Amino acid sequence: YEISNFHSWLYTVAKNHCLLKIRKDKHVFFEDINESVMENGDFFTPLDEEKTNEEKSALDYCMAKLGSEQRTSIEYFYYESKSYADIVSLTGYTLEKVKSYIQNGKRNLKNCILRLRALNEEQRVQTRNT
């Protein structure tokens, strides 16, 4: 094989090598997370970050809109750093219910906050246009 354009050849070889490597190592991109890491992990969540007054107000508003079980479970888990086992003993809920309340509560908070952001953005646009 004769290489007439070295740059094109090198680019093609490098690209194909990288694509093969990505395909070969594809299984590495997703990794199972141990439940204890999820329960007590020091990882970032939207509830942990610094917030503006508007974000704090939105979070407070949306927390108030949650059902009492979801709100209680989220407050214990995120604000008081309680483990699932601690929440079970404090509330009397089953472990499955605690996990469900936290997961569904986070989803409901996210949806509520996104709706509020959309409304606020819509109001800003209307204010600018008037």
Tell whether 22 is covered by a domain. no
Q: Which domain holds residue 62?
A: 49-129
For residue 90, tell me if it sits in a domain: yes
- The domain tally of the chain equals 1
Of residues 85, 74, 20, the one with CA closest to residue 48: 74
Domain assignment of residue 112, yes or no: yes
pLDDT in tens, 35-68: 555 555 444 455 555 557 778 888 899 999 999 9
Q: Is residue 124 part of a domain?
A: yes
Q: Would you say residue 68 lies in a domain?
A: yes
Distance separating alpha carbons of residues 124 and 3, to the nearest angstrom: 60
Gyration radius of the chain over CA positions? 24
CATH number of the domain where residue 117 is located: 1.10.10.10
- Token pair 């979070």: residue: 59
> Tens digit of pLDDT for each residue in 70-125?
999 999 999 899 999 999 999 999 999 999 999 999 999 999 988 888 888 887 77
DSSP 25: T
For residues 54 and 90, give the distance between their C-alpha atoms in angstroms, rounded to a whole number.
32
